Chains A and B, each alone.
Chain A
């Protein structure tokens, strides 16, 4: 399955770490060179991740670029990695956003630049590791690896309440993951006892076929860990604190990638490992997602701090992601994955934008702004496009994701679709109101009169995002064709195992796979792509 004959995926995963090691040997006084080196490393990383996209065979199901080496063979632990259409796009989003993060840190980070950059590069390896791991222990190691650099980024380079926020972030996430570790071990032993093969291999554990009650417990443990990470209502309160205190690039990567690890965890681990429990959890997850959508939007509307506003809007947007995923149909799941990317791009951009005004004014309170569109017209244009993407205007990326999610949710349960769609109205309200208070009106604070418009570096940071916003909105097929087969496969597999598990008891017919999900449609999509 590896078309390159070269461990490309390993290279993509560990190149940032190697880069971090290289940075160790550079003198700490030369901050400018350190930044340049980190930028080059992240750019090279982005470039070497592109072949993954180009060489990814959209006509093949299953994992690609797979590598597998025994690691601790007596315990069945292996270094097993690979990507499918779902993780592929998230890996690219990671390498893409990291470049922008390093660019955006140019002026914002003033002390301990070296450590900061090293933390960032280690974080990148951790995040990619989570996305490519196909072994539960390997996954867990990477999962925890992401925590530490992020903890440091918030705790060292953060705002005034950084210690509180960092500890809250760390402990909250840790508490969730511990339960998941217990569940991973239980899964290992139960599967070993049943099949005689003790392994942490994810793809093999998919077939474990645990009894329903065991699945419920284990799903709960996994789901809690991921739900905290997403974060789903009511586990979201670490997020506003973390965002408010984190430096700009920390917020970008937190919103852009780290939260996606939670949603990705559902789709890669919690759901396919425990399909019976996952199907039973549809009402719970969907209702929590809907609460998240509406609640996040309502609370976001009243925020006085820009970063908090964006943080709560994230709660709302990730509610959409979860809603679509648990619709368990092609539109819902594809929309959900697309929305993960959209949220990474748009909310990442929103945090960059907030960071840009913060660097100028050292405040994030909405009341301290007003009338900026007059003094910063270029900034206003970028901000407007990003805000519109965030409220899912057709023609931008956000629309494609939210539309498919709501369509999928509506198909699964019209009530979910209708309630979810109200989030679209609220999003317009909170985003445009904020935009108006910051950008429009007369200038009420004299300090704002002398604000400088964006400089070249900032424009260069934002242009790729704007291009992506439009591109993903107008030509979504470019991305969809890569994930199409993986999603169909995921749904087919999960539903088949759910049904085979529930069929003997005669229960659970409610969610039988619709005809569209059978692999027959694979043929069409494959042909359609090759044309």
Chain B
């Protein structure tokens, strides 16, 4: 069974080819196109489940040692060799399950959402291609094939962001996403070069087996370069700028690519390379700090936005920050855990936003909504579930994963009190902006125009059923990872342990031991430690509830206050509202200066210097010719003069 892993990416590839070639050529009916695309994903999901259970049958230590399924040699040049091959282990199969599962539901939802779009067939061809690339990324057994998926998902992201290419904004956003991602990919590529230069291979198994021979400086450089790639794909500081703009794409695309799957590739990549990162404490610190900073920074930008999808986009960046915080402090499985729960609830939030847009005639501005919850009850309830999950309310999936990250940020070897504080503050902000979004969109008075009001309606079942499924997952998804302290056995960790090792337990940390309680290892936390873990858990829940209360106060109870506050703190408000002007700064520093340099090089240097000197040589020749030509005047007198002058010179020369 496990040998059939190559079928998982193959199905969407076939779906892509079918819809992209035959579907477009024959102009097939939408039902055919939609069924083919969904069936392809359904089969992928089915095979992921089957392989998951086959893997589960194996004893835990054997699960990480399943031989790779190699299809054929890809690039072979001298001592460089890569294959097209897939790797099945607990980590990759969890990713495959999340990707194919969430993709399947979003495909189904899309059939309803995109129903009236003239580009229906093109949409599903791209979407299938995306899933093919994404599955290639997570199942690859070597860095280069992973890079194929990596750039492949970037391409699909480009195509789908710019899906409505006739308007400028989507076309620009798509290009921006691709180019910024290429900056990240540049780092990834250099990381691959370094790995090959030092280890002579790019296969995961070989690299990780040989990794201990690397010295710290090299491995630090490698991991930092890989992190540049991760920061590009997963929208971390300073390469996050493309993700908010990516919201120009169709909403299910935002849900699938820019929330649930593609943007989490960076986290997956670091988890995959955890052996390398564990050898490079500096890189770990960089990852953790960038992650924490991004979590806080992006959350702050989400506080004031009015565009539903933008709020969710900043929220995604922020939540990705949490995942990087997790892997940065060595809590790799916690990072993957949050990746999974986030895929459920954030995917759901975007689909919910799409359902709201569907109801509101495409409106995105929450100021023009309000009070619609009765008209779209399923959307509202599922959105509420997801909001509770992301806010970290106990009992919902986000609580388990986020809390584990915060706890590890504090207690792990690589953790620090400040990392926890930043994470906790960001958690409070998250609860605030999410409930602000919920309150303003669904509750209060309706501010939509009469025309829009008339059409408000719940979405058809093909859209609401995926919402309900994801809502269910947003609740129960967390119960696979109940921490020991709450009486669970953390099945999720156990399952990933053969690949990622046990989660770093709170052993004594040299530098920051003063606030650190002592724990027994092996998960059986005792004494003071139990209190500490419960205490921090309580604090983070309290922070979330405070955030919710503030949102309630400002947007339900005293709705005039936000405006007053905005006027009072106008400068800060303006700066934050305009996203700290980072886009504008980048525009000036990178885009404009590159264009200016290009123009200068072309006009001044290429035309003015290089080509000019070539032409000057030619002109010099022409000038020489014209000078010499003057001697041949054709007048006998001047020739005679020449003869006489010549003769005189010779005579003078002779008599001297």
Contacts and interface: CB of A to CB of B under 8 A. Distances in A.
Interface in B27-84: 72-80
A459 to B, nearest CB: 11
Interface string B599-616: 101100010001100100
26 contacts: A168-B618, A237-B614, A299-B598, A300-B598, A301-B598, A302-B598, A329-B78, A330-B78, A335-B77, A393-B152, A394-B144, A394-B151, A395-B148, A399-B148, A421-B189, A429-B182, A432-B178, A432-B179, A436-B162, A436-B174, A441-B171, A442-B166, A476-B75, A477-B73, A477-B75, A521-B78
Contact of A394 (B77, B152, B183, B618): B152
B638 interface: no
A403 B147 CA distance: 11
A429 B179 contact: yes
B595 A436 contact: no
Contact of A480 (B72, B76, B606): B76
A145 to B, nearest CB: 24
Interface stretch (B190-198, B408-416, B540-548): B190-198
B168 A441 contact: yes
A406 B189 contact: yes
A298 B182 contact: no
B284 interface: no
Contacts of B601: 295, 298-299
Interface stretch (A31-39, A99-107, A410-418): A410-418
A299 B602 contact: yes
B183 A425 contact: yes
Nearest to A238: B614
Given A406-B193, A428-B178, A440-B171, A516 B186 contact: no
B278 interface: no
A62 interface: no
Interface string A3-46: 00000000000000000000000000000000000000000000
Nearest 5 pairs between A and B by C-beta?
Answer: A330-B78, A394-B148, A237-B611, A302-B598, A440-B171
Contacts of A388: 155
Instruction: Count chain A CB atoms within 10 A of each CB in B174, B193, B595 and give the residue with the most.
Output: B193
A414 B75 CA distance: 21
Interface in B134-175: 144, 147-148, 150-152, 155, 158, 162, 165-168, 171-172, 174-175
Instruction: Count chain B CB atoms within 10 A of each CB in A168, A374, A441, A484 and give the residue with the most.
Output: A441
Interface in A405-439: 406-407, 410-411, 414, 417-418, 421-422, 424-425, 428-429, 432-433, 436, 439
B574 interface: no
A488 B76 CA distance: 13
A480 B611 CA distance: 38
Contacts of B144: 394, 403
A299 to B, nearest CB: 4
Contacts of B644: none
Interface string A137-162: 00000000000000000000000000
Nearest to A417: B193
B77 A302 contact: no
Nearest to A418: B190
Contacts of A528: 76
Given A424-B182, A425-B179, A442-B166, A417 B190 contact: yes
B165 A439 contact: yes
A171 B618 contact: yes
A506 B261 CA distance: 58
A191 interface: no
A224 interface: no
B185 interface: yes
Contact of A374 (B166, B175, B598): B166
A400 interface: yes
B397 to A, nearest CB: 34
Contacts of A429: 179, 182, 594
B190 A421 contact: yes
A517 B80 CA distance: 12
A234 B179 contact: no
Interface string A450-480: 0000000000000000000000001111001
B74 A476 contact: yes
B594 A301 contact: yes
Contacts of B152: 393-395
A81 B442 CA distance: 80
Main secondary structure of the interface of B (DSSP, over half): helix
A428 B179 contact: yes
B182 A371 contact: no
Contacts of B594: 298, 301, 429
B597 interface: yes
Contact of A404 (B80, B150, B151, B155): B80
A238 B190 CA distance: 34
A424 B186 contact: yes
A168 B151 CA distance: 41
Given A432-B178, A477-B74, A394 B189 contact: no
Nearest to A384: B159
Given A300-B598, A436-B175, A477-B72, 8 more contacts: A237-B610, A302-B595, A330-B78, A421-B189, A424-B182, A428-B179, A432-B158, A441-B165
A475 B72 CA distance: 9
B166 A403 contact: no
Contact of A442 (B72, B167, B192): B167
A394 B75 CA distance: 12
A526 interface: no
Instruction: Count chain B CB atoms within 10 A of each CB in A374, A403, A480 and give the residue with the most.
Output: A403
Interface string A388-402: 100001110001100
Contacts of A295: 601
A303 interface: yes
Contacts of B150: 394
Interface in A359-377: 371, 373-374
A403 B78 CA distance: 14
Contact of B602 (A302, A404, A432, A439): A302
B148 A410 contact: no
A404 B75 contact: yes
Nearest to B609: A234
Given A303-B602, A371-B166, A298 B597 contact: yes
A172 interface: yes
Nearest to B155: A393
B185 A424 contact: yes
A334 interface: yes
A516 B81 CA distance: 13
Contacts of A418: 190
Contact of A373 (B165, B178, B595, B598): B165
A503 to B, nearest CB: 24
A433 B74 CA distance: 31
Contacts of B167: 441-442
B202 to A, nearest CB: 10
Instruction: Count chain B CB atoms within 10 A of each CB in A238, A439, A477 and give the residue with the most.
Output: A477
A331 interface: yes
Contact of B166 (A302, A394, A441): A441
Contacts of A331: 77-78, 80
B616 to A, nearest CB: 12
Contacts of A432: 158, 175, 178-179
A172 B80 CA distance: 40
Interface string A478-499: 0010001000100000000000
B560 to A, nearest CB: 42
Contacts of A301: 594-595, 598
Interface string A437-449: 0011110000000
Contacts of A476: 74-76
Contacts of B194: 410
A332 to B, nearest CB: 9
Instruction: Count chain A CB atoms within 10 A of each CB in B78, B80, B190, B597 and give the residue with the most.
Output: B78
A320 to B, nearest CB: 14
Nearest to A175: B617
A236 B197 CA distance: 33
